[in-house]
Amino acid sequence: MIYEYINETAFINAFQTRRPDSFSYEGLKALFKYLEEVSEDCDSNIQLDVIAICCEYSEYENFKEIKKDYPQVEDHEYLSELTPIIRAKNGNWIIQNF
């Protein structure tokens, strides 16, 4: 299989073209950085599948919004035990859905 490295700009453009309302610009930057680190840590390639990533990750403006989807989550510490938390520069939270 042939893989092509996608830079941050191409990653953001892919989302803004196919799913423009899924993540904020700052959220996409943070998500790209996170996925790039995961890829390096695991020494494996991650396929750019915009739809799959949108199904796997969600962006929230704050913890209160997360609690609407996950009422069992009591606090930030418990959430961090359940899923990775990615913080964007705009203050938004991106989590891997669980």
Average pLDDT of every residue of the chain: 95
Task: Give a yes or no: residue 74 inside a domain.
Answer: yes
CA 72 to mean position of chain CA atoms? 21
- Of 26, 23, 37, nearest in space to 91 by CA: 26
3 part of a folded domain:
no
Report yes or no on whether pTM surpasses 0.75: yes
Residue 57 inside a domain? The answer is yes
Question: CA 96 to CA 53: how far, in whole Å?
Answer: 9
pLDDT, tens digit, for every residue of 13-28? 999 999 999 999 999 9
Assess if residue 2 is contained within a domain: no
Is residue 1's pLDDT more than 70?
A: no
Domain contains 14: yes
- For residue 1, being part of any structural domain is answered with no
Say if CB 50 and CB 26 are below 8 A apart: no
C-alpha R_g of the chain:
14
